Structure 1
Amino acid sequence: MLNRSLSTFMNAFTASDYTMYPFSTQNEKDFQNLLSVYLDAVFFPCLREQDFRQEGWRLENENPTDPNTPLVFKGVVFNEMKGFFSDNGRIYAQNLQNKLYPDHTYSVVSGGEPLAIPDLTWQQLRQFHATHYHPSNARFFTYGDLPLEQHLKQIEEEALSKFECINPNTEVPSQPHWSSPREDHVTCSPDTLAPDPARQNTLSVSYLLGDITDTFEGFTLSLLSSLMVSGPNSPFYKALIEPKIGSDFPSVVGYDGSTKQASFSIGLQGIAEKDTEKMWFHKGEMCKINSFLIILEIEIKHQTTNFGLALASYIASSWNHGGDPVELLQINSSTAQFRQALKENPRFLQDKVKHYFKENTHRLTLSMSPDEAYMDKQSKAEKEKLQKKIQALSDCDRKEIYDKGLELLNAQSKTQDASCLPALKVSDIKPTIPITPVQIGTTGGVPVQYCEQPTNGLVYFRAMCSLNTLPEDLKLYVPLFCSVITKMGCGALDYRQQAQQMDLRTGGMSVTPQVITDSTQLDMYEQGVLLSSSCLERNLPHMFQLWSDIFNSPHFDEEERLRVLVMMSAQELSNGIAFSGHMYAMTRAGRHLTPAGDLQETFGGMEQVKFMKRIAEMSDLSGVIRTLPRIKKHLLNPENMRCAVNSTPQKMSETAAQLESFTKDIAENRKERKPVKTNIIEVRFQRELNFHPCQMKTFFQMPFPINFVSESIRAVPFSHEDYASLYILARMMMAKYLHGEIREKGGAYGGGARMGGGLFSFFSYRDPNSVQTLSAFRKGVDWAKSGQFTQQDIDEAKLAVFSNVDAPVAPSDKGMGQFIHGITDEMKQSLRERLFAVTHKSLVEVTERYLCAGQSTCGAAILGPENETIKKDPSWIVK
């Protein structure tokens, strides 16, 4: 359906005790189509044995066409869950839940413990579906502006009317309360990119709390949790992070209301073995209630494009256990009740701390430490499981496995007949886009883009500061500078006061590195940092005052504070690789293809991960501290800046006045009183004169049992006439060729192609293969070159592309394509017309022109386990 619809979202989520099947679209006919397909798929699936073997698990010859190759485990979910547990944070979170609730459903892995998956039979799965995926056990949620009656009628006619009521027996009992605390220990794989290899232990204390169907109690405990763990003013931050016992809180921290009874966890990751005893519970002061209630107000007013999905996810757990979903959405009444409770009993929160923490005997202390042999043990356990299965096979069984392997391969190689599925037509797509009016002006010599939008009482501010004048040796430090500049204090405020003011006065303030490829030339790009913040209209002067202080007098001299931030940042980067390995692979593969690609690897690739690890290992950060003001001088400079504001029409003139006051303030405080340039827009994009594209293949050996693979090819910029054909080609190859080869046959969790930033990139995610996948990318090119696709395939790819192009844009983000990327509505409309005009001939031509061997300049990257084939190949650089 991804290729037959204009959906803005389609997926399925597996929680610990429910499955959610959400979709969204802006087209009424498409909504009915998708509802029809979802109802059918959820309540009346075929669940054929072949589907179970492909998506779940199977025994199969390594090469399905050769019965003499060894038998191995295959299957999409089997590999997905192996990938899931290659992330140490997830190993910890899963064990914590299993051990805190040991007596029923939460004691098992709902997604499937990899080595338990091969014990599941097809019959068991069918039986499970029959009793659990039944309307008597379901809840329906719709959000949007289409009439509800039509949805209800369709749900009744296509699903509900076809079932009798049953008692599914799926109520989750309460976890029996322990009479005394417990301790446990688990192991994980060592992290080669950890900030400090000697400090890889995790330890936390978790408490069983109340039932999540009690809405007000959940609200209170969630707020109490925020008070205790959020930001540098929280007691646990002061007690655990600042003394540098560990690098950061672990993957599970604070309140968790996703299970029938909530829990609260507090702990640390990145602890040395000898320091695990230093962890303690700290009561702390309760002084931040107002700022959290303001954060709630901003969250309610801030409109996102996935608001309906966020609401569905927010109410799902409580509703699943019989809670009142409407009550859960009435945040204002919970806030009023909370204020009243505090008024009646000033010790209201202290009493909660006493009841749920001090006197609570259902407490689990869980530690996790790295084990050098962890991967070997996992591998050995899988081999033993495999051998056990193989030993039980007769010759007849082996023959059947071989025959079924061929049968599955044959089914995977056939084009599926999707004619039974409803589909929109390309003619259902609107020919033009709505224009977003923006006004361009200058304030204090700084160019400003004004965009009037229904922002619900919030003002959104962005500023792009150019990096063009920054010396080359400082580039690697830019992401670190961005992550600390809003967290070290400014003006008269120390970092704690700054954090408190940001909470009270804004919806957050951030600085992020930006690398933007020019829309007309591949070797031109813009480098800068983007300042972003939002606030309630009444707090506008306060927000700009905070930015003024950051520009005029940021604090850089506190080495201890910097060390805490460096450790947290390095830990976060290291943790993110197992989750986003395909992004790191794509970034690395594109490094030597364009100047922008090179800088992206510097700012956000494996080079940055390794750089931050080196910084985290330094015993003396005084050199880094000396570097930060040098960067600030080039970056936080009104001469190199342009701004954008989104607000309501009623508030725009006041916002402009506040912005003018801000730009004057930061200009006056500069030491060198040069006149401010007004042609910043004209010098946005620059050319890298010494850059020459070249081929490069890099392999990163990682402590994962699965691979992330990418190949990137230098192609064309956004405004080029061939961009539209390459954009549609990427989508069509993904749906019509790569999905079948990489997921269905290869067993990877995902894979595909995308076009953007001047590069045509292939990727795979949680992939049991590496070299074989690179070969599948090449075969995909041959498939496209040979023109083995139909007009229907092209139309479906166009639908999928337009669902992305026409995805809704929140009021806060309107006009940002023009401000950040330099892409105007006229340029978008021009691309739209070229997308409509893409033909079979143009797709074959762009494949030959850009993607074929000999024509293309490409890079490749793999993140994965030890790989002898690649190590023996001199064309690969091994890291």
Structure 2
Amino acid sequence: MAEKNFIEPRGELAVGTAHAGFVVTSVEPIPELSGCAYVMRHEATGARALWLACADVNKAFAISFKTPPADDTGVFHILEHSVLCGSDRYPVKEPFVNLLKTSMQTFLNAMTFPDKTMYPVASTNTADLENLMGVYLDAVLHPAIWHRPRIFEQEGWHLEADEDGALSYNGVVLNEMKGALSDPDDVLYQALTRALFPDTCYRHESGGNPRAIPTLTYEAFLDNHARHYAPSNAYVFLYGDLDVDRELALVDEALRGAAERGAGAPNPLALQAPVHPERTEVRMATAPGNAEIGLSYVIGTAADRTRVLAADVLLDALCGSNESPLKRRVLDAGLADDFSAMLVDGVLQPQVMFTLKGLREGAGERFRALVESTCAELAEGGIPRDKLEASLAQAEFNLREGDWGGYPDGVALAIQSMSSWLYDDGRPVDYLRYEDALAELKRGLDEGLFERLLREVVCESAHCAEVELVPVAGGDADEEAAELARLREGMDEKDLEAVRAEVDALRAEQEAPDTPEALATLPVLRVSDIGPAPAEPAPVDAEAPLPCVGHELDTHGIDYVYHYFDLRCLEFDDLPYAGLLSDLLGRLATTRRSASELDTLVETNLGGLDFFVETYTRDDDLSFAAPTLVVGASALAEKADALCDLPHEVWGETDFTDLARVRDILTQRRVALEQYYVSSGHSAALGRTSTYFSAAARASGAMGGVDYYLFLRELLEHWDERSGGLTGRLSSLCARIFTAGNVTVSFTGPASERARFWERGGTLALPAADVAQRLVIPARGARREAFVIPSDVAYVAQGFGPSAADAGTVGAWQVATRALSFDYLWNEVRVKGGAYGVGFKRSTEGLRQFWSYRDPSVDATLARYDAAAAWLADWDGTPAELDGYIVATVASHDAPVKPRQLARRQDVARFCARPAGWRDEVRAQELSVTADDVRALAAALADEGAARGVCVFGGRGAVEACGVDFDSVTELS
């Protein structure tokens, strides 16, 4: 069969042709994506549509709406959650969760942005994609919110009253935003946008301010849906190798059937006239060390794609590393712990934002003057040409690589398209293109383009704002308590009973099972719909001067190299210093180059140079641990020589004597970890509970977990007395780690490129040294620990050691995990408990762990974890439900990954000593799981003889109020 040419426009889709109610309005080849964009308009409703035709089998669909907020109630965030709680055609309580449990989706979610709401899905299976499209289209156009008002109470907010009559607020979005706005960065960002855009939608918190969310009424909630979730306000996106007429017919039917609610026009989305307010303050209840100041400048509008890309390159050149000229100047001024810059795009008026964190005395008064005077100096005297060229090269690499992290290409490109399409119907593809913009920026290097942009955006700005975040005692929690107390004073016993009765009614609705008739409306796939496992090229043991694993994959002209250095040559007390190495390498001078020169050279020649630590284990041995320092590098094939030269210059010649720079870097790392605990405390808590049972987890914790943070904090607090020996210890560590006998190299790319790499690199300048294993990892044992963070919510983890009653296969546990996470835990901890997220996992080593995310309660959540075993033992899912869990589990197993991700997955499997065919064996186990297999796993969860540990990250109030008798309570700030 001839290969399809997606770049060449198809004649049957010419401008003016009609397809299932849509008329093609423009056709634009997109060579950057080897595809073509077909832009359309729905004749009956005015809905917009875009099909990005390309060869990708991981197809995608999204429907989006322009949703500029008019207040801080978070109505569009609550709507995003609520419309996925049942619809006219699919009258079940949680069709979204049913799809997570039972579809072959490779992506399924919804997202609220400052001015839009998006509902994207992706799947490699056409029937599955159409199922997802059908459910999402009915959800947004015919949601059950119109006849089930308690969806609003569950997802938005409601009042509760305890036995003593004390009132409290609860609701999923309310608790999510309490967690989000416990992050000083989020609070500062919102204060800045409020100052920059006092007359437009961007002055409002689109996610919802917890103080304002309880002012939203059900009637206003419905009104906003009626006005904004209309076909005339919709943007439909299709992506990949699909039958466009067939998919458009599905969309056409849904749009034509949309209810005519006659509610009026959507909220306006207008340009803000330039403003230049005085510096303001925002007060926040947080740790004193979280004092920040932000400085933002509007750079223009989203219509100027080249200017936005130029601003991104400019920020990287000025602030991309500690050695960039503006960041170096600010750090040397000693104003704060860290300084960073960020491009805020995907909005009507993009901006650049400079942030100073961990303020010192007088920083607020000096910051703006320092930034603007330095920018004026650079605009006048010229930005270092090598820095601009390096940042431009880095931007080009990132655009060509197109690695979107956890997003499938189709979903990421749907989001990209909205960066211009939302603001101009005639510009749906501006942000899918980049070649013309790159060419213009390269020409502009010789024409002063970047100096001119810096002068216009910062030095001569008429539209900018500055806000300082001031930590204070008390805060929103105290204000909420006072408000609830006032509300209680105005209530009598009858009012309290009404509150309790409504909560009881809500609980009854939440606990009522969906009827078989309602469940039967949902589209389902069967195990018989699953095809064979996708082919996965096996790695090869390549001939080379050093041990080498070859991954001969199509990388589109990019070479990836990972060097794995075994750290079992170290003592356990050395592991925190290995963590320091991973933070410092690549950011300091070498014996050949200054830190600034090295930074420029890396950005010019490499796509990335990363140093990080990870630990490999054995699936059958919790005492085994192989901590490893990984050096990862990537480059375009034409620059592959740098893959040989630069990594070994860094690991072999780094100069650790500049202790001032070392301290800067480590302080930045401490700040980043503290913010991580606030935003991702569930991950930190899971990692900590693993340390109670697993030697590998304890090694990882010493190099990058809580133990590492405590080590780092103490080092910085006693810097003067402890830094003296640091240079020698780090240099000695490098000499022991970076040896030829201690490394395995992984190369991803064509065999010819791999041969050229080794011809150039030889032994990578690694000395031949004897390597003896010295590492002994001490035992820890199960504990009950709390870590106090500045947050109004908690993250609650519970972990169990291995159980003799655990006879389940990895595949059976994978299927049961979906049942526990998306049925029992979702209903108990998220729907009824109000936590934003919850889940269960069972590691391949036999550890069983529960976690919650942005959770208002500790005790209730732990009690629900304890009841999980009984639920699993009595699980009475139908054959169709079990089929759905298996389908979703196998689909997750088979999800496509980028070549670099596949190579890394295979490398990790190798170091964990998994046999060839291990993934195929697990997949076969998943396909053969029975209901009895699932129920049998309850014995391991119920095993009271298994060691149990609890770890909570949360605010001091939550920690002190819960009933856990903690072995230790530690402040992480």
TM-score w.r.t. the length of structure 2 is 0.83
Letter in 1 for 2:725: G
Are the counterparts in 2 of residues 551 and 666 from structure 1 also a CA contact under 8 Å? no
Are the counterparts in 1 of residues 786 and 959 from structure 2 also a CA contact under 8 Å? no
Cross-structure match for 2:675:
575
Pair 1:245 & 2:335 matched: yes
Are the counterparts in 2 of residues 131 and 168 from structure 1 also a CA contact under 8 Å? yes
Aligned 1:780-795 pairs, distance under 5 A: 780-795=868-883
Deviations 1:8-30 (A, max 9, x none): 11111111111111111111111
Pair 1:843 & 2:934 matched: yes
Inter-partner Cα distance in structure 2 for 1:331 and 1:236 = 27
- Structure 1 residue aligned with 2:234, among 132, 138, 148? 138
- Structure 1 residue aligned with 2:922, among 825, 831, 835? 831
Pair 1:505 & 2:605 matched: yes
Moved more, 446-455 or 287-296: 287-296
Cross-structure match for 1:116:
212
Inter-partner Cα distance in structure 1 for 2:608 and 2:334 = 25
Pair 1:768 & 2:856 matched: yes
Inter-partner Cα distance in structure 2 for 1:314 and 1:321 = 13
- Structure 2 residue aligned with 1:630, among 732, 747, 754? 732
Pair 1:537 & 2:640 matched: no
Inter-partner Cα distance in structure 2 for 1:262 and 1:420 = 44
Cross-structure match for 2:3:
none
Inter-partner Cα distance in structure 2 for 1:874 and 1:513 = 34
1:162 offset after TM fit, Å? 3.7
Moved more, 302-311 or 541-550: 302-311
> Secondary structure of the equivalent of 1:664?
coil
1:875 offset after TM fit, Å? 5.3
Cross-structure match for 2:251:
155
1:554 offset after TM fit, Å? 2.0
Inter-partner Cα distance in structure 2 for 1:780 and 1:764 = 14
Pair 1:514 & 2:614 matched: yes
Letter in 2 for 1:330: R
Q: Structure 1 residues 489, 106: CA separation in 2 closer, same or farther (over 3 Å shift)?
A: same
Are the counterparts in 1 of residues 172 and 834 from structure 2 also a CA contact under 8 Å? yes
Q: Structure 1 residues 771, 442: CA separation in 2 closer, same or farther (over 3 Å shift)?
A: farther
Mind listing any 5+ residue stretches in structure 2 that lack a counterpart?
1-98
Are the counterparts in 1 of residues 667 and 716 from structure 2 also a CA contact under 8 Å? yes
TM-score w.r.t. the length of structure 1 is 0.91
- Structure 2 residue aligned with 1:382, among 480, 486, 491? 480
Q: Structure 1 residues 786, 46: CA separation in 2 closer, same or farther (over 3 Å shift)?
A: closer
> Secondary structure of the equivalent of 1:767?
coil
Cross-structure match for 2:89:
none
Inter-partner Cα distance in structure 2 for 1:757 and 1:819 = 17
1:161 offset after TM fit, Å? 5.4
Cross-structure match for 1:741:
828
Aligned residues: 843
Are the counterparts in 2 of residues 693 and 857 from structure 1 also a CA contact under 8 Å? no
Inter-partner Cα distance in structure 1 for 2:963 and 2:251 = 58
> Secondary structure of the equivalent of 2:509?
helix
Inter-partner Cα distance in structure 1 for 2:863 and 2:261 = 51
Pair 1:647 & 2:749 matched: yes
1:594 offset after TM fit, Å? 1.5
1:568 offset after TM fit, Å? 1.1
> Secondary structure of the equivalent of 1:854?
coil
1:390 offset after TM fit, Å? 3.6
Q: Structure 1 residues 605, 520: CA separation in 2 closer, same or farther (over 3 Å shift)?
A: same
Inter-partner Cα distance in structure 2 for 1:153 and 1:384 = 54
> Secondary structure of the equivalent of 2:450?
helix
Cross-structure match for 2:757:
658
> Secondary structure of the equivalent of 1:529?
strand
> Secondary structure of the equivalent of 2:949?
strand
Q: Structure 1 residues 498, 687: CA separation in 2 closer, same or farther (over 3 Å shift)?
A: closer
1:395 offset after TM fit, Å? 5.3
Inter-partner Cα distance in structure 1 for 2:204 and 2:536 = 52
Inter-partner Cα distance in structure 1 for 2:588 and 2:951 = 36
Cross-structure match for 1:754:
841
> Secondary structure of the equivalent of 1:129?
helix
Inter-partner Cα distance in structure 1 for 2:774 and 2:852 = 32
Pair 1:31 & 2:121 matched: no
Q: Structure 1 residues 155, 874: CA separation in 2 closer, same or farther (over 3 Å shift)?
A: closer
1:414 offset after TM fit, Å? 2.2
Q: Structure 1 residues 724, 870: CA separation in 2 closer, same or farther (over 3 Å shift)?
A: farther
Cross-structure match for 2:656:
556
Moved more, 429-438 or 466-475: 429-438
1:129 offset after TM fit, Å? 0.4
Inter-partner Cα distance in structure 2 for 1:256 and 1:736 = 37
Are the counterparts in 2 of residues 137 and 168 from structure 1 also a CA contact under 8 Å? no
Are the counterparts in 2 of residues 516 and 527 from structure 1 also a CA contact under 8 Å? yes
Alpha-carbon RMSD across the aligned residues, in angstroms, is: 2.5
Q: Structure 1 residues 160, 460: CA separation in 2 closer, same or farther (over 3 Å shift)?
A: farther
Q: Structure 1 residues 204, 22: CA separation in 2 closer, same or farther (over 3 Å shift)?
A: same
Cross-structure match for 2:354:
266
Cross-structure match for 1:194:
none
Cross-structure match for 1:810:
898
Cross-structure match for 2:454:
353
Q: Structure 1 residues 435, 363: CA separation in 2 closer, same or farther (over 3 Å shift)?
A: closer
Of structures 1 and 2, the one scoring higher in RCO (CA 8 A, sep 6+) is 1
Aligned 1:438-477 pairs, distance under 5 A: 438-444=539-545, 446-477=546-577
Moved more, 141-150 or 16-25: 141-150
Pair 1:306 & 2:408 matched: yes
Are the counterparts in 2 of residues 242 and 564 from structure 1 also a CA contact under 8 Å? no
Inter-partner Cα distance in structure 2 for 1:340 and 1:229 = 22
Moved more, 522-531 or 130-139: 522-531
Are the counterparts in 1 of residues 678 and 789 from structure 2 also a CA contact under 8 Å? no
Are the counterparts in 2 of residues 58 and 118 from structure 1 also a CA contact under 8 Å? yes
Q: Structure 1 residues 488, 869: CA separation in 2 closer, same or farther (over 3 Å shift)?
A: closer
Cross-structure match for 1:175:
272
Deviations 1:382-429 (A, max 9, x none): 023223444454655433322221111112222234332111112222
Inter-partner Cα distance in structure 2 for 1:242 and 1:794 = 61
Letter in 2 for 1:841: D
Cross-structure match for 2:391:
292
> Secondary structure of the equivalent of 2:237?
coil
1:628 offset after TM fit, Å? 1.0
Moved more, 80-89 or 139-148: 139-148
Letter in 1 for 2:703: F
Inter-partner Cα distance in structure 2 for 1:294 and 1:688 = 41
Q: Structure 1 residues 367, 443: CA separation in 2 closer, same or farther (over 3 Å shift)?
A: same
- Structure 1 residue aligned with 2:503, among 390, 405, 412? 405
> Secondary structure of the equivalent of 1:3?
helix
Give the fraction of aligned pairs with identical amino acids, expressed as a percent: 24
Letter in 1 for 2:398: E
1:658 offset after TM fit, Å? 2.2
Q: Structure 1 residues 690, 116: CA separation in 2 closer, same or farther (over 3 Å shift)?
A: closer
> Secondary structure of the equivalent of 1:247?
strand
Q: Structure 1 residues 630, 875: CA separation in 2 closer, same or farther (over 3 Å shift)?
A: same
> Secondary structure of the equivalent of 1:456?
coil
Inter-partner Cα distance in structure 1 for 2:540 and 2:620 = 23
Deviations 1:503-554 (A, max 9, x none): 0100010011111221333322321111111100011112211022123322
1:766 offset after TM fit, Å? 0.4
> Secondary structure of the equivalent of 1:248?
strand
Cross-structure match for 2:363:
275
Cross-structure match for 1:680:
none
Cross-structure match for 1:218:
308
1:491 offset after TM fit, Å? 4.3
